[in-house]
Structure 1
Amino acid sequence: MIESAVASRWFRRYPPPGGVVAKRLVCLPHAGGTAGMFHGWAGGFGPGVEVLATRYPGRQERFGEECVTSMKELTDEVVRALLPLSDVPLHLFGHSMGASLGYEVALRLENEHGVRLAGLHVSSRKAPHRVDSPPVYLGGDAAVIEAVAGLGGTEAGLLGDPDLYELVMPALRADFEIVGTYLAQPGYPVACPVAAYVGDRDPGVSPVDMAAWADVASGGFDLTVYPGDHFYLAPQRDALLRDLAARIA
């Protein structure tokens, strides 16, 4: 019962039609992102696939909770919440910061709990042994806002509204601290297949950067480049979902 409550707190669940779950796709948002960005993905992967949109603390339904500020703590919490749901094959999709989180979760599940993922899908984020995010958070709110605006995130528009600023900013501060303190590492391989995605006009991550994920993909690797910037996955949603659905199937 306790573990079920933990999972309910961490994931917004979208069951497949008919309610019989054969596989799960766990979606991990970007810095400042919310589970809501994956609402339109529900039902997009065929019969038997449940979508789990991850709810980070400090936003939406978890607004009253303290934000997490380290990758290790965030990984610990997501792994704990996922373990009761690993009774069927798991796929992880992480965008930007969520891609790094997905990699860490995959390593932890495989190496400490014997759970081999069916697939790790990473989007718009350099590979763990190539990551070089500057510590933007040390520059205060102004530096974080400038970084968000430069990437084209929807959060940038919300920050212009004084009434929304204090709702959005704490999560951004915390997530940019996670990103800024997540340093390059040896790049331990994951056993599952890895699929990488990126926009061809992403200002911070190139297709060459994403190709380096092959170095940690002992189970196979594929790269798909879409037209678009860091948030290509909004205008390219249908194409991305078709690709993901084919891989999950």
Structure 2
Amino acid sequence: MDPTGVHVWLVDVDDERSVRRSTALLPPAETARLSAVITRDRHRRLGAQAALRILAAEAAGVRPAELLVRREPNGKPFLAHVRGPHISLSHSGRYAGVAVTRTGPVGVDIEEQRPVGHLDGLARTMMSDAEYAWWLTHDEATASESLFRHWTYKEAVLKALGLGLGGGLSSVVCAEDGGGPVLRALPAGAGRATGWTLHDLFRPEQRAAPLPCAVAVGAPDVPLQFHRTSLAELLEPGNGRAHPARDTCRSPASRSLAPPVARSPGHDRSRSFRSRKERVAMSHPMSASYDEASPGAAPVTLFVVPHAGGSGAYYRPWSRWLPAGVRLETLDLPGHSIRIREPLIAEWGPLADDLTAQLRARLSAGSDQIYVLAGHSLGALLAYEMARRMTAVGAPPALLLVSGRNGPAVGLSHRPIHGLADARFLDAVERLGGTPDGALRDPEMLRMYLPLLRADLRLAETYTRPPGPPLDVPIAAFAGRWDQMTDDQGLIAWNRETTASLDLRVLDGSHFFHDSPAFATEARARLERLLPVDQSVASPAPRTVALAETRENAPTGTALQEALDHLQNSSHV
């Protein structure tokens, strides 16, 4: 091995037969650890660990079985009993990335490009303000690729530092000046960025790798040698594993890491595509607007509070079916989405106070602006608590729109899961409906997402309704027919929370059903009733759905029928 360079291997591990052969190289404890934690792509991840062991052993001059690989608390591998090279491992899809060097701490990251539901929200989460402004100059065709490439830069640096994602992706600042990535800043206390080398193996000018791939070395001007191989090839004896002959290319040492020309946040905005501008038309730093009109231009403003682990960006498609006179706003929680740099708030009172302050800041001061509070699951409870606070100051919403949650005064429809160990917790989340954007199926995103989701579910599962009178606010409640997180009696309990009307709808779907045409039709009709007569369309009169007729296997006993009869005869409906 070249003692002055860094070697990076991209290994195809999508071969179950080779993986079965390679597991003999792994200590039983390592195999058991991976089998207990990983439920998806298990064979590929086992293959990735075997590839690391083979290549690190070659570099250290020992047999794979003699290699003692330890892990730091953040998961970074290191060689414990030999004065060997620095190593790093990444896995995504069918590939494993392995980096080996003797020049300094190293990190490698590969990211299989995949659809991301909230591209702009992810960009805001992982980028500094300057990086985000630069990213906005990309057109829609290149924005996703650019995001994934920058992701690999940042995570490679954090891996080399031994921080994992604990350092925060936005704390690593990178730029491009036409010749490759340039490291601009490191997390606090990590030293100067000018002492580092950063290589991009997925540059448009030189596609060395078939997917975004970057390597970072804590030493200046380190040359790169890149190799492509497969696990089957690595397992063949006498093939020169340290330097596979197949698909090898060399990269010159990095250039001087001089800072690029600074760009202002508004630089070259003319190239930004319209849908991107709509995503980021931020009228308040803690609230996203998806209507380019000013807040007073629409008669009604719909404020949406996201679900557990969610972001306001998930609700952006609602703007496609909202009535013309309704403007969409979203209110993200601290520590989420565009507020990712803020600490999470783990207590109900302070969190509801925070969101209510956001809401009051968005409402036009001194006006009688009509607004609606909406929320799904955890967001339904938060919207309810906000409605109580706004009522207390004499500014109640015109409507409370809730979905995916039993009434505040009743218990859960499932056993609490927030305290389960990771593997059982993930299985339980999937069983209860998963997440709408597939975050649980993406191992890299899961590492960022899991603590946040667990904290949100702890809030949702430990909520207790504070004493107080019902609201004098109409409530529209929606539920999925097969949602395990709601039940008939729990949905009926929303009737206790209002002295006005309750409209209850049960629609086909499980916990996340908002993309159904039926939801769009019903919610639009309910919102149209808030518009001035000349802007609204005639909508059906309010009605209460007979739950026993709309839920499969719903109980039809006396208690449920009595509850439905009470609702239908009550002055509240």
Asked whether the two chains share a fold, i.e. TM above 0.5, the reply is: yes
What residue number does 2:333 align with?
A: 56
Distance 1:234 1:55 in 2: 20
1:13 matched to 2:293: no
Corresponding residue to 1:101 among 382, 399, 402? 382
Higher helix share: 1
Cα gap change, 1:143 to 1:110, in 2 (>3 Å): farther
Distance 2:434 2:416 in 1: 18
Instruction: Report the secondary structure of 1:52's partner residue.
Output: strand
Q: State the 4+ residue runs in structure 1 displaced beyond 6 angstroms.
A: none
Distance 2:320 2:504 in 1: 24
What residue number does 1:131 align with?
A: 411
Corresponding residue to 1:76 among 321, 334, 353? 353
- Maintained 8 Å contact 2:323/2:524: no
Cα gap change, 1:118 to 1:156, in 2 (>3 Å): closer
Instruction: Report the secondary structure of 1:166's partner residue.
Output: helix
Corresponding residue to 1:150 among 415, 427, 431? 431
Distance 2:306 2:384 in 1: 13
What residue number does 1:86 align with?
A: 363
Distance 2:515 2:377 in 1: 14
AA in 1 matched with 2:514:
L
Of 72-81 and 142-151, the range deviating more from structure 2:
142-151
TM-score, length basis structure 2: 0.40
1:242 matched to 2:550: no
AA in 2 matched with 1:138:
G
RMSD (Å) for aligned C-alpha atoms: 2.4
C-alpha displacement of 1:184: 4.3
Determine which structure has greater relative contact order: mean sequence separation of CA pairs < 8 Å that are 6+ residues apart, divided by chain length. Answer: 1
Distance 1:57 1:51 in 2: 20
Cα gap change, 1:10 to 1:18, in 2 (>3 Å): closer
Of 18-27 and 190-199, the range deviating more from structure 2:
18-27
Larger radius of gyration: 2
Structure 1: runs of 5 or more not aligned: 1-5
What residue number does 2:34 align with?
A: none
1:115 matched to 2:401: no
Matches within 5 A, 1:138-217: 138-154=419-435, 157-186=438-467, 188-217=469-498
Of 129-138 and 216-225, the range deviating more from structure 2:
129-138
Identity among equivalent positions (%) equals 30
Cα gap change, 1:220 to 1:238, in 2 (>3 Å): closer
What residue number does 2:42 align with?
A: none
Give the number of aligned pairs.
Answer: 243
Distance 1:8 1:174 in 2: 25
AA in 1 matched with 2:451:
P
Distance 1:248 1:78 in 2: 23
Distance 1:46 1:194 in 2: 19
Instruction: Report the secondary structure of 2:483's partner residue.
Output: coil
C-alpha displacement of 1:64: 2.5
Structure 2: runs of 5 or more not aligned: 1-281, 532-573
- Maintained 8 Å contact 2:434/2:440: no
Cα gap change, 1:240 to 1:102, in 2 (>3 Å): same
C-alpha displacement of 1:32: 1.0
Cα gap change, 1:129 to 1:186, in 2 (>3 Å): farther
Instruction: Report the secondary structure of 1:32's partner residue.
Output: coil
C-alpha displacement of 1:65: 2.3
- Maintained 8 Å contact 2:475/2:503: yes
AA in 2 matched with 1:53:
T
TM-score, length basis structure 1: 0.87
